[in-house]
C-alpha cells in the first residue's frame, strides 16, 4: 500500500506534475522516459477530438472521441479543464484527477498552456514544467521529419508554438531540450526531488 506522503503539494494527497511544450519539442519522449523511471506515476490520458496519428492507440495515448460527445461532456461538467488546441478539442476528466490525487497518487498531465492555467486555479501548487525547443527552426525540422502532419497543420503548430513559448513564464521550471538525454536527466531529478519532499 502507498505510504501517506510527507508533503501534500496539491493539498489533495499527491503531486500534480504538469508538462507543456510546443508541438515537436520532444515532450512525448520526455514523458515516456519519466514514466519508465517512475512507473507508479499515473499518466492522465486526455480526451481529444483530433484523429489518431501514426500508431497512436485509443485508451493509451488518448481517448479519441467525437466532437458531439466532447461538447455533451462539457455541458455535464466532465472536464476539469479543456481547450481548443490547433483546431481540436482536448480535455481532462475531473473525476479521474480528483480520484487519484485523493488516493495520494502522483499524476502526470501533458496539457497545453491554457489547460495549465485552468488547473492552477484548482491546484495552485502543481509542479509546472515547460519544455523549450532549442529554436523554432529545430521545431520545424522535427515536425517535418515526424511526417505525421500535413504542411498546413505543421504551419499552424509552428505559429501556435511562438505564442506558447511567450507564456513559459507562468511555469515553475523550464527545461531546454537541445539534448534529449540531458533533458531526461534534468526532468527525472527534478521530479525525484519533489517526490522525496525536498
Ligand atoms: P497533440 O495533438 O500533438 O498530441 O497535442 C497537442 C497539444 O494539446 C499539446 O500541447 C498537448 O499538451 C495538448 N493537450 C493534450 N491533452 C490535453 C488536455 O487534456 N488538455 C489541454 N488543455 N491540452 C492538452
Please give the residue that has the higher pLDDT: either 14 or 175: 175
What single-letter DSSP state applies at residue 153? Answer: H
pLDDT at residue 26, as a whole number: 87
pLDDT at residue 37, as a whole number: 97
Domain(s) labelled CATH 3.30.63.10 in the chain stretch across: 45-103
Q: Answer for the pair 7, 197: CB distance below 8 angstroms, yes or no.
A: yes
Average pLDDT, integer, range 11-16: 77
pLDDT at residue 151, as a whole number: 87
CA of 179 to the centre of ligand 1 (A): 23
Report d(CA 107, CA 109) in Å as an integer.
7
What's the pLDDT tens digit per position in 91-138?
A: 999 999 989 988 999 999 999 999 999 999 999 999 999 999 988 888
pLDDT at residue 9, as a whole number: 53
Pocket probe for ligand 1: among 62, 85, 109, 150, the residue whose CB has the most ligand atoms within 8 Å is: 85
Task: Find residue 63's DSSP bridge partners.
Answer: 47
What single-letter DSSP state applies at residue 172? Answer: S
pLDDT at residue 11, as a whole number: 57
Write down how long the chain is. 198
Confidence tier at 7 by pLDDT (50, 70, 90): very low
At which residue does the C-alpha cell 521530479 appear?
A: 191
What's the pLDDT tens digit per position in 25-69?
A: 889 999 999 999 999 999 999 999 999 988 899 999 999 999 999
Average pLDDT, integer, range 162-180: 94
CA of 185 to the centre of ligand 1 (A): 23
Closest to 41 measured CA to CA, from 89, 81, 101: 101
Strands 63-64, 127-132: pairing is unpaired
Crossing angle, helix 136-146 and helix 151-166, to 10 degrees?
Answer: 150
Report d(CA 42, CA 109) in Å as an integer.
9
In this model, does residue 187 exceed pLDDT 50?
yes
Looking at the domain that runs over 16-41+106-198, which CATH code has it been given? 3.40.50.300
CA of 157 to the centre of ligand 1 (A): 12
Pocket, ligand 1, Cβ cutoff 6 A:
20, 23, 46, 50, 81, 83, 85-86, 90-92, 110-112, 114-115
Average pLDDT, integer, range 75-98: 94
Q: Give the number of C-alpha atoms closer than 13 A to the C-alpha of residue 87, restricted to the C-beta side.
A: 9
Strands 47-48, 88-93: pairing is antiparallel
Residues 6 or more apart from 61 whose CB is under 8 A from it?
45, 52
Domain(s) labelled CATH 3.40.50.300 in the chain stretch across: 16-41+106-198
- For the domain made up of 45-103, give the CATH fold: Guanylate Kinase phosphate binding domain (3.30.63)
pLDDT at residue 198, as a whole number: 62
What's the pLDDT tens digit per position in 131-159?
A: 999 888 888 888 888 777 788 888 888 88
In this model, does residue 81 exceed pLDDT 90?
yes
Amino acid at each position: 500500500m502507498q505510504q501517506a506522503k510527507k508533503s501534500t503539494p496539491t493539498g489533495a494527497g499527491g503531486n500534480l506534475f504538469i508538462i507543456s511544450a510546443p508541438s515537436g519539442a520532444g515532450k512525448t519522449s520526455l514523458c515516456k522516459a519519466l514514466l519508465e523511471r517512475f512507473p507508479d506515476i499515473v499518466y492522465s490520458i486526455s480526451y481529444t477530438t483530433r484523429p489518431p496519428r501514426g500508431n497512436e492507440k485509443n485508451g493509451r495515448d488518448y481517448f479519441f472521441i467525437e466532437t458531439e460527445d466532447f461538447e455533451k461532456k462539457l455541458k455535464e461538467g466532465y472536464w476539469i479543464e479543456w481547450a481548443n488546441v490547433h483546431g481540436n478539442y482536448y480535455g481532462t476528466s475531473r473525476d479521474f484527477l480528483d480520484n487519484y490525487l485523493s488516493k495520494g497518487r502522483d499524476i502526470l498531465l501533458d496539457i497545453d498552456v491554457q489547460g495549465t492555467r485552468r488547473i492552477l486555479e484548482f491546484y495552485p501548487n502543481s509542479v509546472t514544467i515547460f519544455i523549450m525547443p532549442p529554436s523554432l527552426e529545430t521545431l520545424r525540422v522535427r515536425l517535418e521529419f515526424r511526417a505525421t502532419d500535413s504542411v498546413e497543420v505543421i504551419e499552424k503548430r509552428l505559429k501556435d508554438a511562438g505564442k506558447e513559448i511567450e507564456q513559459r513564464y507562468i511555469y515553475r521550471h523550464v527545461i531546454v531540450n537541445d539534448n534529449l538525454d540531458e533533458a531526461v536527466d534534468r526532468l527525472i531529478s527534478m521530479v525525484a526531488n519533489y517526490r522525496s519532499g525536498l
